[in-house]
Amino acid sequence: MSGNPKAKQGVNTVWGGRFESAPDDLMTAINASIDFDCRLYAQDIAASKTHAEMLVAQGIIPAEDGAKIQDGLDRIENEIADGRFVFKSELEDIHMNIEARLGELIGAAAGRLHTARSRNDQVATDFRLWVRDALTRSESEMRELQAALIDRAEEHAATVMPGFTHLQSAQPVTFGHHLLAYVEMLGRDRGRLGDCLTRLNECPLGAAALAGTSFPIDRQASAAALGFDRPAANSIDAVSDRDFALEALSTAAIAATHLSRLAEELVIWSSAQFAFIRLSDGFSTGSSIMPQKRNPDAAELVRAKTGRITGALVALLMVMKGLALSYAKDMQEDKEPLFDAFDSLSLCLRASAGMIRDLQVDAKAMADAAGEGHATATELADWLVRELGMPFREAHHVVGRVVRRADELSCRLEELSLDELQAVEPRIAASARDVLDPLRAVESRASYGGTAPSQVRAQVARARERFL
C-alpha cells in the first residue's frame, strides 16, 4: 500500500477495476505522458475517427453511435486547437484524455470507440502518423536549403577560393563547387528520409494489445483511410516496433552532422583571420563587453544542436535494446527525444538556409588565399607529366624540391622566376608558370564533377533538375 495518503482518493477510471486504491502521486508523475504526448492529438483524433468509421462499416457498433463519436471528436479537436481543452495528468495520456472528454460530450456511446483496439496499437499508429508528418516537413526544409545553396553556387561558379584537406591549403577550387558538395549531402539525406517513409508506412491499427482481435475488423480499410500503404503484417511486431522512430532519428542525426560541418565552415570563414564571408546581422549577435564583435551564434548553435539530435538517437536505442516482445512501458520514452530532435532539426535547417541566402562573399579575400600554401603545386606536377612525359611519382619529387625552394625564398610558387624553376628541373619551360596561377588551375579541372567554372555551372543545372 502507498505511503502517500493523498494517493488513496480514487481509483483510475481507465484501468481501476482491478485495483482497490489510487496510485501514489509519484507513480502518477512518472507514469503520465500527457505533458508531451498531447502533441499527438491531431493524429489520435484522425486515427480514432477512422477506427470508428470502420467499426460502423463492419457492423460492430451502431451507426448512430458512430455519428456521435465523429461529432464529439470534431468538437474535441476544435477545443484543443483553440486552447480550451483541459489536459489532466490523472488520465495519463492523450488517448485517455480524449476518450474521457468524449464521454462527457456524448455519453455512453464514447465507450464503444475502444472496441477492437488497445492503447498499444493506438499509440503506435499515432506515433507513425506524427513521424510521417515530421519526415515530410524535414524533406521540404532540406529542399529549401538545397535551393539556397544552388542559387549561391551558381552566383559563385567562378569565385576562386582555397580548397582544404586536413584544414590545410590543398588545391584551388571555386566557392560554387564547395557549396554544391553540401547539396549532394542533403540529397542523400532526402533519399534516406524517403526510404524511411516507405518502410514506416504500415498501419498498426487493429493489432490491438498484441494478438489482434476477434471482431471482424477491416484493417485494409483503416490503413488506406489513414494514408498507409498496408496494414502491419504481424500484430506483435505492430505494437512493439519502433524501428521507424530509430530510423527517423538516424536520418536526422546524419543530416544534423552535415549541417554541423557547414556551420563549422561558416564560423571559420567569417572569422577575421579568414574573412571570406560576412554573415548578415539577422544571423549574428554582438558582445556584452566587446563592441567590435560579430559572433556567428546561429552557426554555432546549429553545430551544437547536432549533439542533441544524435543524443536522441542514442537514448532511444538504449530504451529499445533490452525489451522483450511485445509492448513495455519503457516505450513511452520514445516520444520526447524524437519530438525534440525534429524540432531542433527543423530549426537548424531553416537557420542554415537563412544564413546561406544572406551571407556576403569577399571574393578578393578568397582569391588572395587560393594560392597560399603552394596550392598549385599539383598543377606543376601535372604539367611535368603532361609536357615532359615524366612519371607522376618522379614529378611529385621534383615539385617537392620546387616547393622547398619557394619556402627558402619566402614566396609563393607563382612568384618563382623561370630561372629558379629551371635550377630544380632544367626542362621546365616558361609555359609551366601559367599553370601556377590559381584561376587557371581551377579552369583546368574540367573533369566531370570537377571545380572548373564550366563544370560547376553544369552541376548547378543538373542539381536543379535532380533536387528542385
For the annotated catalytic residues, the residue numbers are: 166, 287
Q: Which residues contact 122 (CB under 8 A, 6 or more apart)?
A: 44, 47, 48, 95, 205
| Cβ neighbours of 165 (radius 10 Å) | 8
**Helix ranges, 219-334 (H):** 219-225, 235-240, 243-269, 297-320
DSSP result, 312-345: HHHHHHHHHTTPPSS--GGGGGGHHHHHHHHHHH
Give the separation between CA 183 and CA 306, rounded to whole angstroms.
Answer: 18
> Going by DSSP bridges, is the β-strand pair 202-203/230-231 parallel, antiparallel, or unpaired?
parallel
Give the separation between CA 130 and CA 41, rounded to whole angstroms.
Answer: 10
b or e along 244-257 (b: 16 or more beta carbons within 10 Å of the residue's beta carbon)? Answer: bbbbbbbbbbbbbe
- Phi/psi-derived region of residue 372, left when phi > 0, alpha when psi is between -120 and 50, beta in every other case: beta
Q: What is the grid cell recorded at 266?
A: 561558416
Contact 66, 55 (CB under 8 A): yes
Q: 173 — phi, psi (to 5°)? A: -135, 180
Q: What is the grid cell recorded at 454?
A: 564550366
| Cβ neighbours of 369 (radius 10 Å) | 20
